[in-house]
Structure 1
Amino acid sequence: MSLTLTKNQISSIEREGERIKAYIKRFVSHLPNNARTTGSFAKWCGVSRSTAQRLLQMSKPSYNGFQVICGLPSPAGISRVIEKLADRNISEEGIMVITSANELLYSTLHSLTMSQNQLKNAFDTINKANDSGVDQGLSARKKLYELNQQLCKESIQLSVGVDCVTPNKHVSDYLSEVVIAYRQGVKFLNGSRSFVQSFVGNEKNYHLNQPTSIKRRELHDLVVDSTFQFLLEDLTSPSAVDCFTGHGLLGNSQVYNLSEANDFKTGGEITLGHIDRTSQTHPLTSKKQLDIHGIECHSPTQKMILISLLEKSLASKATARTGLYTSSQKAQEDLYTLEDNWNDRFYTDTPLLCFSPAEDSLAEKLKIPEVHDLIESALEANQLSKENSVGYCLVVDYPPWLSTYRIYFEYELN
């Protein structure tokens, strides 16, 4: 019996764990209100506090698929819980979903011929190997990048997306959002496609206007009541402005024919932004307790960085997790949670860095000075101070072409 795991197995375990977690969340929703905490469930169901804790905790956003499989009671233990539920006040659907979760847990462990403890030990071994800092997939992704840029005659050296969110000061039930997309070393040769920058809302489809050219110093005093799109002149090659050709079919993307501009034959830069003062309902006062930030690899790209900036009251209630999907996957528009998308998610071990914008250290750590200007620009445009914000950062070298990296923020209410 092998106690090692392949990448395919890890990916499969993560997906199955997300499915199990979705079942557990549905099960908890069917419990009586007086049986949804560890102590109350243990007493109501007639099981130990340890079993109740291990079962209910796995419905929390902070646990990933692997942790769910390793942290749940054993299949035999969950079977005993199901037996106890037979004469309790719970719907048939509630019993059905916990039964489905247990069957999936059993089949996953059986296919691996591992116990939960053995699985945890195998994963701990992998984590220790990953701590060496070696990205096992980097070489393959680099080769794909080189082939894809030759194929489509376009490439981007650096892609940075900054998403800044804060409660709307004037409309308290909504969030104000500023998104800035920066591209450096942009090459679009003759015969290439158009350059496309999309802005996708969490709750609505945007219909964008032609971006207004502005300078960074204008952002702080910018008056925006609803939505506004802009091109940041300070970080954009001069010839980009005249390359604007319109919008995509759905109206939520801006299209530029950069192959006609000399700047973009050798490597230009372009920075586009979007402001929405009522981008989505406030997650702490509404039923939609989820916020999704994403960055798409629309062109072959050497390095991609996604930065999220949350106002502190939001960050204090949020659990941040990451996911990698194909760009055709539209989960963001429908506000599906991470585990709801288990079947469309690729395996990724890219770490999520948490940082303090007030310390101004991220740009120095990444050795990319433009990151400092982009963070400050987003904060200024959203009238949010560095001291009152928390930052999250995802960095990927040679991201898969036509993929989307996301940071999910799931909010828990008291």
Structure 2
Amino acid sequence: MGLNQQDRTELTRLGERIQKTFIAVRDALPDHAQTIGGFTKYLDYNRSNSQRFFSACKANSGLQVLVELPGIHALKQLLQKLSPMLSQSLMSQVNQVVTLFVQCIENNAKSHADLKRRILAPLHQIDDNNETTNHKAQLYKAAQALLKFSVEEIFCVYILRKNQNDPRYLQEVALISKSGINRQVGAVPFVQFYTHPHPEHFKGPIAITRTSTLQPNEFTLGVSKEYSSAGFLEAFSTYSPSNSGLVFDPLPSNNCYVTFVFNNPDEVVNPLHQNSPCSSTSLSIKNPAKKLTMLVLLEKQIDKCSTVNIGCYHSNQKVEEGKLKASDLWTERFPEFPELKITSLEERFAHSQLQPAQKDKLRYLLDVSGTRTDDFICYATEVDYPIWSSTYRIYFEHQ
């Protein structure tokens, strides 16, 4: 029998915690011991279990960490081998996560093998499938009433490819579209945030049309004329250099829509050029929203050396680009597990699950950025009632 979602959430969090601790152990050892063969020789430890230790370090999910781990007896042997090699504080963390893993097996399975079978089995639906969605809908309605502000749908697309002018970075092109923006009297103004450091001599967003061409080496921040309410660009009021926020006030109507286009050439580290363990894209839910659809198009050359992961986190968690991995945020992760799919871009997206309006916006971004779809893999996720004041982040962890 498989695990229910609550059990899988707890086990995922434990696996991410174990992975973070094991990575710290690996990095604390001499360079020659940071390979399977070196680890085996340096600790006089079984090679098969050494391989499982390194597989757990590289696993792309917390559940997969628990599947890859050596057995309980082998882990206890590892504790003995590591004890004279590590600092007291790190050794204390290792002892703690191994103890938690042993308790995890006792509470959830008959053995490690049984736990692995239960993890790999289909999700056991003992809870009402709609319960989580209902709770998130209640949060949406409460936040909407409290803030007097809501968004019907958020659709965003991120394109990550090598920067041809500066190989140290990836060029990130993004489209963020918000429809059904409803701001009541007394609510805060509409603000669109972005992560790039504030450019000098910035006066405001520019108008983008289908005939526009984004310059690869220039940071660009614009409002799409075709996919924004009339007068939205003119509603731009001011900007905040301290938090990179564009303020639009008053809005042109009570139920309006806007599409932003960003070109970011020098912020996301290129893992093929620099020693970067992780690239990521994210969207923070600043306003209560009913629906989130998020696409990430990743250049195939980068995808070949990457594993993909997705998580939902506190919005106030700072992420240092190119350094932070998904497992580092195990303390901030919400019990929200969006499904990540690979969607087809062939034949102009004829076979994808996107809505017609979403396909049009995706084509629009491809046109203004000069992007050929046959060079990319597309990852997609859909979330009903995304958690207000959270951040949905898709990671690409590089081998």
- Is the pair's TM-score, using the shorter chain for normalization, greater than 0.5? yes
Aligned equivalents of 1:385, 1:133: Cα separation in 2: 43
Shift of 1:211: 0.7
1:6-405, aligned counterparts within 5 Å?
8-60=6-58, 62-85=59-82, 91-93=85-87, 97=90, 100-110=93-103, 113-114=107-108, 115-124=111-120, 127-129=123-125, 134=129, 136-201=131-196, 209-218=203-212, 221-223=213-215, 225-248=217-240, 250-258=242-250, 260-262=251-253, 265=254, 267-331=255-319, 335-361=323-349, 364-366=352-354, 368-405=355-392
- Does the aligned pair in 1 maintain the 2:214–2:263 contact within 8 Å? no
CA, structure 1 residues 394+98, in 2 after alignment: closer, same or farther (shift >3 Å)? farther
Aligned equivalents of 1:21, 1:316: Cα separation in 2: 23
Shift of 1:39: 4.2
Q: Which runs of 5+ in 1 are unaligned?
A: none
Aligned equivalents of 1:4, 1:313: Cα separation in 2: 36
CA, structure 1 residues 139+291, in 2 after alignment: closer, same or farther (shift >3 Å)? same
Aligned equivalents of 2:66, 2:94: Cα separation in 1: 10
Cα deviation code 1:382-409 (max 9, x no counterpart):
4331110111111100111111100011
Cα deviation code 1:295-343 (max 9, x no counterpart):
1211111110111111111111111101111222222568421111111
Aligned equivalents of 1:135, 1:71: Cα separation in 2: 32
| Pairs aligned (count) | 395
Task: Give the letter aligned to residue 172 of structure 2.
Answer: E
Q: What fraction of aligned residue pairs are identical, expressed as a percent?
A: 24
CA, structure 1 residues 206+223, in 2 after alignment: closer, same or farther (shift >3 Å)? closer
- Does the aligned pair in 1 maintain the 2:72–2:112 contact within 8 Å? no
- Does the aligned pair in 1 maintain the 2:4–2:124 contact within 8 Å? no
- Does the aligned pair in 2 maintain the 1:200–1:206 contact within 8 Å? no
Aligned equivalents of 1:164, 1:30: Cα separation in 2: 36
Task: Give the letter aligned to residue 214 of structure 1.
Answer: I
Shift of 1:374: 2.8
Aligned equivalents of 2:179, 2:65: Cα separation in 1: 40
Shift of 1:242: 2.2
Shift of 1:138: 1.0
- Does the aligned pair in 2 maintain the 1:75–1:102 contact within 8 Å? no
- Does the aligned pair in 2 maintain the 1:356–1:389 contact within 8 Å? no
Task: Give the letter aligned to residue 247 of structure 2.
Answer: V
Deviates more, 1:324-333 or 1:306-315: 324-333
- Does the aligned pair in 2 maintain the 1:55–1:72 contact within 8 Å? yes
Aligned equivalents of 1:217, 1:341: Cα separation in 2: 41
Aligned equivalents of 1:15, 1:205: Cα separation in 2: 35
Secondary structure of 2:185's partner? Answer: coil
Aligned equivalents of 1:398, 1:362: Cα separation in 2: 27
The structure with more helix, counted as a fraction of residues: 1
TM-score (norm: length of structure 2): 0.88
CA, structure 1 residues 15+86, in 2 after alignment: closer, same or farther (shift >3 Å)? closer
Aligned equivalents of 1:380, 1:356: Cα separation in 2: 18
Aligned equivalents of 1:372, 1:360: Cα separation in 2: 8
TM-score (norm: length of structure 1): 0.85
Aligned equivalents of 2:242, 2:276: Cα separation in 1: 24
Secondary structure of 2:337's partner? Answer: coil
Aligned equivalents of 1:379, 1:186: Cα separation in 2: 25
CA, structure 1 residues 40+140, in 2 after alignment: closer, same or farther (shift >3 Å)? same
Shift of 1:40: 4.5
Cα deviation code 1:85-130 (max 9, x no counterpart):
568xxx534x864663343132243266344334334444562549
Aligned equivalents of 1:13, 1:405: Cα separation in 2: 20
Task: Give the letter aligned to residue 51 of structure 2.
Answer: Q
CA, structure 1 residues 276+125, in 2 after alignment: closer, same or farther (shift >3 Å)? closer
Secondary structure of 1:107's partner? Answer: helix
Cα deviation code 1:230-251 (max 9, x no counterpart):
1001100002122211123524
1:400-411, aligned counterparts within 5 Å?
400-411=387-398
Shift of 1:148: 2.2
Cα deviation code 1:126-153 (max 9, x no counterpart):
62549x9945411211122223222222
- Does the aligned pair in 1 maintain the 2:72–2:102 contact within 8 Å? no
Shift of 1:353: 0.8
Deviates more, 1:305-314 or 1:102-111: 102-111
Secondary structure of 1:127's partner? Answer: coil
CA RMSD of aligned residues (A): 2.9
- Does the aligned pair in 1 maintain the 2:214–2:220 contact within 8 Å? no
